[in-house]
Every structure is written in C-alpha cells, then in structure tokens.
Amino acid sequence: MGKVAVAFAAAAAVIVSCSVAAVMVGRRVKSRRKWRGVVEILKELEEACDTPVGRLRQVVDAVAVEMHAGLASEGGSKLKMLLTFVHHLPIGTEKGTYYALHLGGTYFRILRVLLGGERSYLDVQDVERHPIPSHLMNSTSEVLFNFLAFSLERFIEKEGNGSSSSQRELAFTFSFPVKHSSISSGALIKWTKGFEISEMVGKDVAECLQGALNRRSLDMHVAALVNDTVGALSLGYYHDPDTVVAVVFGTGSNACYLERTDAIIKSQGLLTTSGSMVVNMEWGNFWSSHLPRTSYDIDLDAESSNPNDMGFEKMIGGLYLGDIVRRVILRMSQVSDIFGTTLSMLSEPYVLRTNSVSAMHEDDTPELQEVARILKDLGVSDVPLKVRKLVVKICDVVTRRAGRLAAAGIAGILKKIGRDGSGGITSVRSRSETQMQKRTVVAVEGGLYMNYTMFREYMEEALVEILGEEVSQYVVVKAMEDGSSIGSALLVASLQS
Ligand code: BGC
C-alpha cells in the first residue's frame, strides 16, 4: 500500500472512531435526558401526592364537616351517612348456630358460627372463601343470586347429617351501599368496585337472595342485611365494647360508627327505639379540595365504570392502587425506553394488581428479584436495578398517600364523635376531660390492611402524627380477620336473643 493509501486509511479510521464516539456520546446524552424526564415524572408525582400533617388535618376537618352535613339532610353531602337500623351490637351472651354469606369486592365467603353464650365460646367453622367469578360482576341479578344460593346449598350439603333440622338463620354481608328500610331489608343504591348490574339498582337485596334461596328450596332465612363495615364493628364490639368505629380497607373502602340517634337529624321521629344507631358512612364517596389529586387519579376516574363517583375510594382502595402505579410506569415508558422498547401489557387497565404492588414495595432481596419477576410478567424484561428501584419508589409514593389519607379519614370520625382530643366540632359535652380520654377502639378489616404491611404502617404512623402521642394512647386500632362475615353472623344472633 502506498503512503497516500495508508494516510487515507488512517484518516478513515480516525473519522469512523470519531463518529462512533460521537454516536455513543449522543446516545448517552439522549439517554441521560430521557432519564431526567423519568426523574421529573417521579418528582411531580411525589409533589402531587404530598400529605404533610397540615394537609391531613384539613382533610380531617372536611370529613367531620361532611359527616355533619350528611346527617343533617338527605343528599346534604357526598357522604351518604346511611341508616343501618342496627341499634344494638352483640355483647357476648348470644347462643346458637348462625350463618353468614359475604359478597365482597373480590371474594365471597360463607361461614358458620357456633355461639355458646359466653364471649370465649365463639367457634367459627368451615370458612369458605372463593374469588367472585368475574363474569358475574356484569351479569344479571338473577344469575348473581342464583350463583350465591347454589354456593350456599353446596356449603349446607357438606354439613352432612348432623346439621340442624330447623330453619337456618343467615346474615347477608353485602359490601355495597344500601338504603335500608329495616335491618333485614334495603335497596341497592349503586354498584361500586367494578360491579355493573344496572337492573339491580333500586331492588331489595335481601329479597333477591331470599327469592333465590326459596327457588332452590333451601330452608334459610335472610335475617339481616349487613354492610361489611357493620359486620366488622359487630365483631369488634363483641370482643371489646369500647369499639365504636369500624373501617374496611379492601378492594374498596368504607367506615361505619356508632352515632347518637339525636345527631341523625335527617331521620328524627323515625328512630325511637334506642339512644344510638350504627351509621354506614360510605366514605368511599367522600370528596374535598384538600385531597391531593394527580393527573393519574383524574384519568383513572374518567376511564372507570363509575366516573365522578367514589373519589376517596379511588385513592385508597385496593382495586385502584395498582392501577395508579401502572399509570405512572406507563407514562414513564412513554418518555423513555427504560422499560424496554417491546410492547408490554402496561397499557392494559388493572393489569397490575395491588397485591403485586405490595410484593414489589416489600421486596427485600438485594437485586429486587420480585420486582423483576412482576415486571417480566407484564412483558417488561431485563430492567436494570436502578429502574427496579424507581418502581419501588412509585409504589411507596402511592401507598404512602393512601395510608395517610386513610388515617385522616379515621381521625375525621374521631373528631366528629369527640374522641380526637379536640372536643369535636359541635358537642360541648364532649369537651370534658373524661370524654377526651375515653379509650376508643377502631376495628379494621380488609385485605389491603391485613396483607400490605407498608400501607398499615403508613396509616398507623399518620394517625399518631395527626392525633399526637397523648391522645393516640387512647385510640386502639384492632385488626378483625374475617370480621365482616363473622360479625354479621353475631349480629343476627343478637337479634334472636
Ligand atoms: C362500598 C361499601 C363497602 C366498601 C368496602 C365500597 O365500594 O360502597 O359499601 O363497605 O366498598 O367493601
């Protein structure tokens, strides 16, 4: 090769290596810019979900104010504050065998309890728990109730010959809003949590179940129609009469509490039998401008089966947390290729479930293998560790907000009933020292609370932050496993005794 050719070859080599380097630098700059875009999205999310204690206190006040408004007049607030006609809760002296059927958001349960007349003699037998087949959620009321009656029939068949010869008393725990006309009857107000059987709205729920049981010639009597929160309160009260509030953190979320009948202004004259009644708040529908709402919440709501409805539930309910996280990841994957370039399932609504969020959030392996596995299941493979850490952070931000808002909800109820140490916003009587320091038990039930440790910890930590160390000592949060179903059966027992 001549000198000239060598020089050309050398020059070409220099040009090639320069352009390779330039491409690489360019790529790095681009990828750094993309990473910055992702970090920006995270920062925005953190800011939008921020819940300093001052903001939580504003939510607390708003809850208490809305509770008053909902009790004052029908439709006076987004909080429906529904009457339950439950004036007395089980006290521990109940006897006999009772059944409960619980239609929740994701599962249905059937169980039998045996009561021996003493608190310590509560025998919960044969708890059956099954996922609700998804086709039932938008079928017809007939299909749904026939399915429930069929499941009950199978449950009874398994009891064998030793079973009772008399009519069985059944509690129907129904985890949806109902306008009660008595403890054992009430019309469905609306579906929540993705159920969509529109012809059922307005129908008497207990009557529908009783009809289906009769069609199968099952000798069972629907003795009470009970919201899941009321079931949890019943079990809480059975074990500890200081229990005055119950909250469910599951697929959906809600709370009930024991209210003085004279405070239920919208129903004066109707309520004569006792000094108090359990009120089902339906707090999932609570709304306040103080709630920290993000663009992801707005989109989730708009694309849900019940837009403009259940705003609080959509920030704290187990059905929704996974989908908020999914939306954030999807957004990041649109501005950068950190989640890969191949098509993933990230754009499929509800594909990321909250139990996966909890598994990722609580992944304590050094390489975050659980996060990698769950992302892989969503079609996102080989993400580097720093991206996996980012996903954990998103789970943390969304769940922290949920836990802290949940605590504000509870503190709002405590404020309304004068158990938050501030004396409440109306009752002068409750300002006395003794009332302020009364021990108050809050019964809590639901898969989100039971299974998602970080949610539980954030909730409990924020409750102490809001109430202060001193008052918090008097507020006991007690988990009630299967409380909604067991407690409803106890409620039926208390009606018989
Ligand atoms: C329902 C409530 C129920 C709560 C928890 C909400 O979607 O409206 O009635 O108590 O979920 O299951």
- Angle formed by the axes of helices 318-335 and 385-416, to 10°? 140
Atom of ligand 1 nearest to the CA of 174: 9
Atom of ligand 1 nearest to the CA of 229: 10
Q: Is the pTM of this model over 0.85?
A: yes
Atom of ligand 1 nearest to the CA of 190: 8
- Hey, what are 216's tokens? 């199968």
Does residue 129 come out as left (phi exceeding 0), alpha (psi in the -120 to 50 range) or beta?
beta
Q: Is the model's pLDDT at 53 over the cut of 90?
A: yes
Cα separation, 230 vs 100, in Å, equals: 13
Residue of the CA atom closest to atom 6 of ligand 1: 252
Q: At 19, is the pLDDT very low, low, confident or very high (cuts 50, 70, 90)?
A: low
Cα separation, 296 vs 325, in Å, equals: 9
Q: Is the model's pLDDT at 211 over the cut of 80?
A: yes
Pocket test for ligand 1, best of 172, 176, 444 (most atoms within 8 A of CB): 176
Atom of ligand 1 nearest to the CA of 251: 12
Question: 307 vs 86, 311, 321, CA distance in Å?
Answer: 31, 9, 16
Q: 481: CA distance to ligand 1 center in Å?
A: 17
In the chain, % of residues over pLDDT 70: 89
Q: 190: CA distance to ligand 1 center in Å?
A: 11
Predicted local distance difference test score (pLDDT) of residue 434: 46
Lining residues, ligand 1, CB within 6 Å: 104-105, 175-177, 192-193, 227-229, 248, 250, 252-254, 282, 284, 313
What confidence tens digit (pLDDT) does each residue in 148-173 have? 999 999 999 988 755 566 899 999 99
Nearest to 413 by CA among 448, 447, 440, 445: 440
Q: 254: CA distance to ligand 1 center in Å?
A: 5
Helix-then-strand count for the chain, H and E: 16, 13
Pocket test for ligand 1, best of 192, 316, 482 (most atoms within 8 A of CB): 192
- Angle formed by the axes of helices 228-239 and 483-496, to 10°? 70
Mean of all residue pLDDT scores within the chain: 91
- Hey, what are 434's tokens? 């003794």
Q: 425: CA distance to ligand 1 center in Å?
A: 27
What confidence tens digit (pLDDT) does each residue in 392-446 have? 999 999 999 999 999 999 999 999 999 998 864 344 444 444 444 689 999 999 9
What confidence tens digit (pLDDT) does each residue in 359-390 have? 999 999 999 999 999 999 999 998 999 999 99
Neighbours of 273 (CB within 10 A): 10
Atom of ligand 1 nearest to the CA of 248: 5
Residue of the CA atom closest to atom 8 of ligand 1: 176
